[in-house]
A and B are shown apart, each in its own frame.
Chain A
Amino acid sequence: QFVLTQPPSASGTPGQKVTISCSGRRSNIGLNPVNWYQQLPGTAPKLLIYSNNQRPSGVPDRFSGSKSGTSASLAISGLQSEDEADYYCAAWDDSLNGDVFGPGTRVSVL
């Protein structure tokens, strides 16, 4: 059972926009910033979005994040084949006193 919830899968055709939701509670998303990680097949996770909507250097601007209340979302605009990956949201949980990850969303490019 996960503290953060995400849809198990999402898909789109090349060029489309895909949005992934991440729902939590006041103790995590409600009070703390959300980060997103991308895990390409067979590789280690990579930081994709931090502090709700900030992109690390090198991350294309077609990736964007937002947060409202106890929910956050990741949007991928102009979907490309290399975006096929698992995407995880994460946030610190003040009640659990630890980081929590969502179950991950697998994005497929049709």
Chain B
Amino acid sequence: EVQLVESGGNLVQPGRSLRLSCAASGFTFGDYAMHWVRQAPGKGLEWVSGINLNGGGIGYVDSVKGRFTISRDNARNSLYLRMNSLKEEDTALYYCAKDSGDIIVGGSILDHWGQGTLVTVTS
């Protein structure tokens, strides 16, 4: 059974940093692209970032470019999101999602999702 467990969410002040982690199990992690998707309180879904199976291809939504960095450790079956210079508008539940394919370009089918980790940015 595929399991994705996010962690690292917290209450932080604007301008600070945070690192989210996603522990994957139940599938061969290194064979699939992975993504982060967020949902602000009471709002819809927003794709944040994706990474190819080997980390060779990466994408970000414009609003986080230059501030967030996605990475993965296939040996540890883990996905990460380093979030710098956090803004209040980054407040959201952050989901880790598995792609059904190995690259993010052209069509990402997010076939499994974690339960999310909450990031709250406030002064």
Could you tell me the distance between the alpha carbons of A32 and B29 in the complex, rounded to whole angstroms? Answer: 25
Total A-B residue contacts, Cβ distance less than 8 Å: 71
B109 touches A88 (CB 8 A): no
Smallest Cβ distance from A90 to chain B, in angstroms?
A: 7
A98 touches B59 (CB 8 A): yes
Could you tell me the distance between the alpha carbons of A51 and B110 in the complex, rounded to whole angstroms? Answer: 11
Q: How many residues of A contact B (CB 8 A)?
A: 27
Contact partner of A99 among B47, B95, B100, CB < 8 A? B47
Q: Mark B35-65, 1 if CB is under 8 A from A, else 0.
A: 1010000001111001000000001111000
Given A44-B116, A50-B111, 9 other A-B residues pairs in contact with their CB atoms under 8 A? A44-B95, A44-B114, A47-B110, A90-B110, A92-B104, A96-B61, A96-B62, A98-B62, A101-B37
Interface, chain A (partner B; CB < 8 A): 2, 32-33, 35, 37, 39, 44-47, 50-51, 56, 86, 88, 90-92, 96-104
